[in-house]
Amino acid sequence: MAGSGLLTPSVAGYVQCMTVDHDSDVPPYQQVAAILREQIMSGQIPPRRPIPSVTTLQQAYGIARGTVRKAVALLADEGLVVVRPGWGTFVVPEDQLPKQP
């Protein structure tokens, strides 16, 4: 199947320009959550689209899988994403996104 890599080009683009400051007082999971939150709220990752996989984020940041899962769980608790086991983690539909203050 053509293009059967780990990432589609659109998902791969979400990981660009993302950095985690390992020397910061802010825990890495909170940094990852903040980056993804900004991308979701700005529309860079559109509603109903998948966020990058745990493996992709782990490799991009050089952090543990558990750290990525904690960031994703934080976003799910905030109502920004929904985790669909076996399918991935998706941004909620636009009408379900929390309103920005």
pLDDT digits (tens, 9 = 90+) for 3-56: 434 444 445 555 656 689 989 999 999 999 999 999 999 999 999 999 999 999
Question: Which CATH architecture is the domain 9-96 placed in?
Answer: Orthogonal Bundle (1.10)
pLDDT of residue 2: 43
The closest of 4, 6, 60 to 31, measured between CA atoms, is: 60
pLDDT of residue 78: 96
Mean pLDDT, the chain, whole residue set: 85
Instruction: List the chain domain ranges.
Output: 9-96
pLDDT of residue 97: 80
Q: What are phi and psi of 91, to 5 degrees?
A: -70, 135
Extract long-range pairs of 7-10: CB within 8 Å, 24+ residues apart.
7/52, 7/53, 7/56, 10/49
pTM for the model stands at 0.81
pLDDT of residue 15: 61
